[in-house]
Amino acid sequence: MSKIYYTKPSIGELERAYVNDAVANGWGEQCYAYIQRFEREFAARLGVAHAVATSSCTGALHLGLRALDIGPGDEVILADMNWIASAAPVCYVGAQAVLVDVLPDSWCLDPAAVARAITPRTKAIIAVHLYGNLAALAELRALATAHGLALIEDAAEALGSRYQGRGAGAWGDLAVFSFHGTKLMTTGEGGMLVTNSTALRTRVEQLNNHGRAAGELRQFWPAELGHKYKMSNIQAALGCAQLERLDELLARKRAIFAYYARALLPVIDGAQMNPEPPDTLNSYWMPTLMLPEDCPGARDTVLHSLAEAGVDARLVFQPLSRTPVFAATPQASNPQAAGLALRGLNLPSYHELTEAEQDRVIAAVLQGLKR
């Protein structure tokens, strides 16, 4: 019985052709050609003015926070239910991550909890669109504007998700994406920072070039201490090919989600999966099953049953406030994040997953619930 991975990329002829071309020809005058093309096409696809390719989403977020001049003494609000990658850059710049609770349906930032957490030191809100689900963009945008805060979207899990027809990542003052191998499209490792602000773009590019100012005539002359989170031309070639296939990759994610939802939701009373409220389109990056609240322990028996069936399922993100990284900083108690963490599982959803394999996953979930 072959193992069913929870995610893996879809790499075809187009990807191989572009990468081979970049390896063979992407040097000298062509050394930035795929990078510039990837940035241009990504920005156009999202309908934003600027895109800067990076070596990771974590790096893009670090650059973004620095470009917004966020540092020691500042606070940045984000959800407790997150992977550390969304919070670590806040710590890198010396600011304080304020971890607040999430909504029970979208599993993303609760705007009321954000409003309660705003202080005179707050500089930004990081809205992470979890598993393709959209954070409450209208409410968070309004809060950010009313309090003079930056709205940063971490759209690493929501490339292709839309709110009112406009893509996740096009709503914030800046947004970041990831092209890690687990994400909807991949460059191996990689990320992107997007913004409509020319000033922010210039600042991000300077920071990402070891602090060298554009137009500096002196050689080896940084104007400030910067970073280097650059994407290579070879990775960008892979990105160009994946971007051309984005609609196909997205359609498959949605079909995989629909197949799970049809099989599981009608038979598991009180279970939830990724929501798609009116006015939104969910990329369903990671089909996620929230088991009923009244079945304590079901998550573990289901996980065990999946493991026995050779299925690589994952837990949803555990509250960051409970991890050693944030143990020393007092945080609010976040009951939704804590409760969801005990009930949620990510199900396999890679592009080449077959219906027979999905049936195996579904059978293992239902088997686990009988125990």
Ligand X SMILES: *Cc1c(COP(=O)(O)O)cnc(C)c1O
Q: Which of 43, 51, 65, 86 binds ligand X (CB under 6 A)?
A: 86
Q: How far is CA 157 from CA 24, 163, 167, 212, 356, in A?
A: 32, 14, 12, 31, 26
Q: How many residues sit close enough to ligand X to count as binding (CB under 6 A)?
A: 13
DSSP-based three-state secondary structure for 149:
coil
* Residue 5 interacts with ligand X (CB under 6 A): yes or no: no
Q: How far is the CB of 234 from ligand X (least distance, A)?
A: 17
Give the integer Cα–Cα distance in Å for 213 and 15: 34
Which ranges constitute the DSSP H helices of 68-153? 84-92, 111-117, 137-147
CB count in 10 Å sphere of residue 300: 13
* Residue 128 interacts with ligand X (CB under 6 A): yes or no: yes
Nearer to ligand X, 178 or 235 (CB): 178
For the chain, how long is the longest CA-to-CA vector? 71
Q: How far is the CB of 109 from ligand X (least distance, A)?
A: 12
Q: How far is the CB of 292 from ligand X (least distance, A)?
A: 26
* Residue 153 interacts with ligand X (CB under 6 A): yes or no: no
Nearer to ligand X, 207 or 362 (CB): 207
Give the integer Cα–Cα distance in Å for 68 and 200: 8
* Residue 362 interacts with ligand X (CB under 6 A): yes or no: no
The contact pattern for ligand X, residues 234-273, with x = CB under 6 A and - = no contact, is: ----------------------------------------
Q: How far is the CB of 29 from ligand X (least distance, A)?
A: 29
Stretch that binds ligand X, among 51-59, 107-115, 295-303, 347-355 (CB under 6 A): 51-59
Residue numbers annotated as active site: 183
Helix (H) / strand (E) element for 272: namely strand 272-273
* Residue 58 interacts with ligand X (CB under 6 A): yes or no: yes
* Residue 83 interacts with ligand X (CB under 6 A): yes or no: yes
| 150-154 and 122-128 beta bridge pairing | parallel
* Residue 87 interacts with ligand X (CB under 6 A): yes or no: no
Nearer to ligand X, 259 or 317 (CB): 317
Give the integer Cα–Cα distance in Å for 182 and 210: 29
Judged by CB under 6 A, the chain residues 168 through 207 that form the site for ligand X are 178, 180, 191
Nearer to ligand X, 171 or 309 (CB): 171
DSSP-based three-state secondary structure for 346:
strand
Query: 102: which DSSP letter?
Result: B
Backbone φ and ψ of 316, nearest 5°: -70, 170
What residues are paired with 177 via a beta bridge? 192
* Residue 154 interacts with ligand X (CB under 6 A): yes or no: yes
Determine the residue type at 336: Q
* Chain residues that interact with ligand X, rule: CB under 6 A: 56-58, 83, 85-86, 128, 154, 156-157, 178, 180, 191
